[in-house]
Amino acid sequence: MRVEPRQPSPRRRRRIALLTTLAVVVVLLLAAGGVLGGGWYYSGQLLEPANAQPGYGDTSAGPAGDEAKPAVLLEESEDTVLPGTWGLVWQGGTARVGPVQGRPGGKVQRPLVEGSAPPAGTKVRMQASVWTTDPRAAHGLDYTDVKIPTELGDAPAWFVPGTSTTWAITVHGRAGARTEALRVMPQLHERGLPVLAVTYRNDGAEGAPASPDGLYHLGGTEWRDVEAAIRYAQGRGATRVLLYGWSMGGAIVGQVLARSPLAGAVVGVVLDAPVTNWTKTLQLQAANRGVPTAIVPVAELVSDWRADIGFDRFDLVANPPPVKPRTLIFHGNADGTVPVQASRDLAAAAARLQWPLQYVEVPGADHTAEWNVDPDAYARTLGDFLTTVIGAS
C-alpha cells in the first residue's frame, strides 16, 4: 500500500518560510557587512598616514664584486630586478645601486654607485628617490631651509635660489618626501629656476602640521598648502610658477589648477606618474592586492564620508581644470601603482580639452621610475620643456 507523504501544516509552512527569509536576510547582512568592512579597511589603507609608510620587503644577500667594482647581492623579487638606477635603504643606512649586472646563484647583483652593501639578511627597500640627503649633499646646490605659512601652520621647504622670475614648486607623492625632487633639481637649477621643494599637511616626518582629522584627503585639501607656496613665491619676486608633481602630488597639482584663485600664475606643469583619476587608481591597486573590485566603490563611499574626498573631481578627463597651462607628463608602462592608462586617456583627450600637453611613456618603468630607467633621456625631455616654458613666460 502506498503511503502519501505527510504535508506540513499551514502553521509549519509559515514557520519554514519565516526561517528561510530570516536565513536569507542574515546571509545578505553578513555579505553586506563583509563588503562594508572591506571598504572601511581599504579606506584606512588609503587615508591614514600611518598605513601609507613603506616597509622593508626585500632582503640583502651581502656584498659582492671587489674593491674596484663593489656591488650588492639581493634576494630576487619583483623590486630587486627593476631596471635602472635605484635607491637602496634599510634601517640606519642607504646606498645607490645601478642596473642589474647578473643573477649569480639565484640572487640579483647590482653595482654600488654610492655607499656600501648592507650585511646579508638585512631587510631593505628599493626606492625611486635615489638621494636621501639634501640639495647640497646630493648636487652641491646652495639651499635654505624655509617655512611656508599655511592655514594649519608652517610647513618646511627647501629653497634653492635661481635667476628667473619663474619659480618651480615641487610636490612629492603620498607618504613621500622632498627628496623626490633631487632627481630633477639640477635641470631646474640649470634653467635658472628658483626651486621650492615643499611639504604639506600630514608630512609628519618632515615636520609639517597634521590635518585636523589626521587623514590624507588625496589632494582635496593638500592643494591649499601648495597654494600657500605659490603665495610665498609671489611675495619674494616670482611672477610665474611651474608646478612639478609626482604620483599624488599630481592630483594635488590638478586641484590647484581647478580650485585655486592663484592658478593663473601657473605657466607650466610637469607630472610624473600622476594620479589623474583616483577611481582607476584604486581599481588597479585592488586588483594587485587580490581585492574584489566591488570593494572600490564602497571604499570610495566610506572615504567620502570620512574625509569629504569627492572622487569625481579628480577625473581630469571628465572634469578638466579651467586653467590648463603647458603640461609635460611622464609615465611608465610598467607602473603597478597608478595606471598608465589614465595618463594615456588624458593625453588622448588633450586636443579636445584644449590642453597643450606633451605625453612621454617610458617602457619598463615602474611607479615614478621614469628617471631611474633612463636619466639622460628624462633630463633632455625635461630640459627642452623647461626652455619652452621659460620662453613663454
Query: Cβ distance 241 to 266 under 8 Å?
Result: yes
Q: Are residues 154 and 249 in the same domain?
A: yes
Is 6 inside a domain boundary? Answer: no
Task: Say how many domains are in the chain.
Answer: 2
Per-residue pLDDT tens digits for 250-296: 999 999 999 999 999 999 999 999 999 999 999 998 888 777 777 88
* 39 part of a folded domain: no
**What does the pLDDT look like over 324-347, one tens digit per residue?**
999 999 999 999 999 999 999 999
**Per-residue b or e along 149-177, where b marks 16 or more CB atoms closer than 10 Å to that residue's CB:** ebebeebbbbbbebebbbbbbbbbbbbbb
Instruction: Tell me: do 107 and 181 sit in the same domain.
Output: no
- Domain limits for position 109: 59-127
Q: Name the β-bridge partners of 159.
A: 144, 196
In what helix (H) or strand (E) does residue 272 lie, and over which residues does it extend? strand 266-272
Which of 104, 127, 150 is at the close of a domain?
Answer: 127
Please check whether residues 111 and 143 belong to one and the same domain: no
* More confident site: 37 or 266: 266
CATH number, domain at 214? Answer: 3.40.50.1820
Residues 223 and 113 in one domain: no
271 assigned to some structural domain = yes
pLDDT in tens, 64-119: 999 999 999 999 999 999 999 999 999 999 999 999 999 998 899 999 999 999 99
- pLDDT (average), residues 204-214: 95
Which of 106, 127, 148 is the C-terminal boundary of a domain?
127
Has residue 1 got a pLDDT over 60? no
Question: What are the C-alpha distances in Å from 94 to residues 88, 90, 158?
Answer: 6, 6, 21
* Residue 26: pLDDT over 70: no
Instruction: Give the whole-number percent of the chain exceeding pLDDT 70.
Output: 90
Where a domain ends, among 127, 160, 178?
Answer: 127
Least confident segment among 6-10, 12-16, 242-246, 340-344: 12-16
Label the pairing between strands 266-272 and 240-246: parallel
Does residue 155 sit in the same domain as residue 274?
yes
